[in-house]
Structure 1
Amino acid sequence: MRKRGFEVVSTYLDKDIHLPIRQTSGSAGYDIEAAERTVIPSIWQKGVLQTLQQVQGLQSESVDEAAAQSADIKPVLVPTGIKVYMPENEYLQITCRSSNPLKRSLVLPNGVGIVDSDYYNNAENEGELFVQLLNFGFEDVTIEKGERIAQGIFLTYQKTDDDVDNGVTRQGGFGSSGQN
């Protein structure tokens, strides 16, 4: 009986995708690779510097313009070509590799990603995992196919005594468990 593991999603079956592995016997995390070449643009080239300069002037028109420009500054979803299955009381925590910020200026903008057990095989994207990355460096960063970009750690969670199953079934993929 299968408990937890990784599978390749159908759209990547013939694309030589590697399932995550732990690099050492003491590693907690399974290294997750990029499924395809992806460019992570520098936030500075996307308008952060111009936004800061406009806001510094404290003119309402500049602040409005800055807000419009900052809409282009957002993380990139890097496809992994994999999905994950696990028991109902577990989740996969996606964390940044420790070398990403130091060597590549890449971070997970949400700090930690949470993959719920019911994300597996969802109708929208078959449960494919994506890793959000933000580049705070001055140059664009190119992630190559097969490059390790994050780690996945299986964790259990507990429910409160008064927890109620609301009967809602996941309907979508990435970011689908709530409106906010």
Structure 2
Amino acid sequence: MSQRGFEIVSAYQNAGLKLPERQTANAAGYDFFAREDFVLKSIWRYDFIRLFRLIKNEHPLTPDDMQRASSILKPLLVPTGIKAYMQPNEVLILANRSSNPLKRGLVIPNGIGVIDADYYNNPSNEGEIFIQMVNASPRDVVIAKGERIGQGIFMPYLLADGDLGNANQRTAGFGSTGVK
């Protein structure tokens, strides 16, 4: 019986994708690779400086300014074409590669990603894993198909005393459990 691992999402079976892999015998993380060429635009390319000046000088922001700021500072989802299966009491933690912030200015804005066991084969996107990233460097960064973009670590988790679980079932993909 398989306990945990990775599969290629069915839509990309013939796309020449690699399953995540550890780079050394003692590596905890499985490196994820980009499903396709992807451009992460620098946050500095946009009208960010103008918005920063408005905020710094305590000028009120218009609804248009707020919309522009939201689109500028929004992370992009780099697709992997990979899904992960695991036991119900496990989680796959997504983390940045240690070289990404220092060498390329790429950060995962929420620090980590959490892939729950019930994300696998969800009806919305079959459980495809995406790595959220923001490019804080002054230049756009081109991520080539097959390039390592993040890493995943399988971990068990514990429940609080008295937690009887929640009977809700996942009905969608990325970010669906926080939507009301």
**Fold-level match, TM-score > 0.5?**
yes
- Does the 8 Å CA contact 1:34/1:78 hold for their aligned counterparts? yes
Deviation (angstroms), 1:114: 0.3
Supply the distance in 1 between the matched residues of 2:90 and 2:21 (Cα, whole angstroms): 18
User: Which stretch shifts more, 64-73 or 80-89?
Assistant: 64-73
In structure 2, the residue corresponding to 1:177 is in which secondary structure? Answer: helix
- Residue in 2 that maps onto 1:165: 165
1:109 partnered with 2:109: yes
In structure 2, the residue corresponding to 1:72 is in which secondary structure? Answer: helix
1:154 partnered with 2:154: yes
In structure 2, the residue corresponding to 1:11 is in which secondary structure? Answer: helix
Deviation (angstroms), 1:161: 1.9
- Residue in 2 that maps onto 1:131: 131
Supply the distance in 2 between the matched residues of 1:21 and 1:52 (Cα, whole angstroms): 41
- Residue in 1 that maps onto 2:71: 72
1:144 partnered with 2:140: no
Give structure 1 stretches of 5+ with no counterpart.
Answer: none
Supply the distance in 1 between the matched residues of 2:49 and 2:10 (Cα, whole angstroms): 41
- Residue in 2 that maps onto 1:18: 18
TM-score (structure 1 length as normaliser) = 0.95
- Does the 8 Å CA contact 1:83/1:129 hold for their aligned counterparts? yes
Deviation (angstroms), 1:63: 6.0
Deviation (angstroms), 1:64: 5.1
Give structure 2 stretches of 5+ with no counterpart.
Answer: none
Deviation (angstroms), 1:6: 0.1
- Does the 8 Å CA contact 1:55/1:66 hold for their aligned counterparts? no
Supply the distance in 1 between the matched residues of 2:177 and 2:89 (Cα, whole angstroms): 16
Supply the distance in 2 between the matched residues of 1:50 and 1:59 (Cα, whole angstroms): 11
- Residue in 1 that maps onto 2:177: 177
- Aligned length in residues: 179
Give aligned-pair identity as a percent.
49
- Residue in 2 that maps onto 1:32: 32
In structure 2, the residue corresponding to 1:54 is in which secondary structure? Answer: helix
- Does the 8 Å CA contact 1:54/1:63 hold for their aligned counterparts? no
Deviation (angstroms), 1:88: 0.4
The residue type equivalent to 1:59 in the other structure is H
In structure 2, the residue corresponding to 1:71 is in which secondary structure? Answer: helix
Supply the distance in 2 between the matched residues of 1:166 and 1:22 (Cα, whole angstroms): 34
Supply the distance in 2 between the matched residues of 1:56 and 1:161 (Cα, whole angstroms): 46
Supply the distance in 2 between the matched residues of 1:112 and 1:161 (Cα, whole angstroms): 25
Report the aligned-residue RMSD: 1.3
Deviation (angstroms), 1:179: 2.2
In structure 1, the residue corresponding to 2:71 is in which secondary structure? Answer: coil
In structure 1, the residue corresponding to 2:26 is in which secondary structure? Answer: coil
Supply the distance in 1 between the matched residues of 2:58 and 2:153 (Cα, whole angstroms): 44
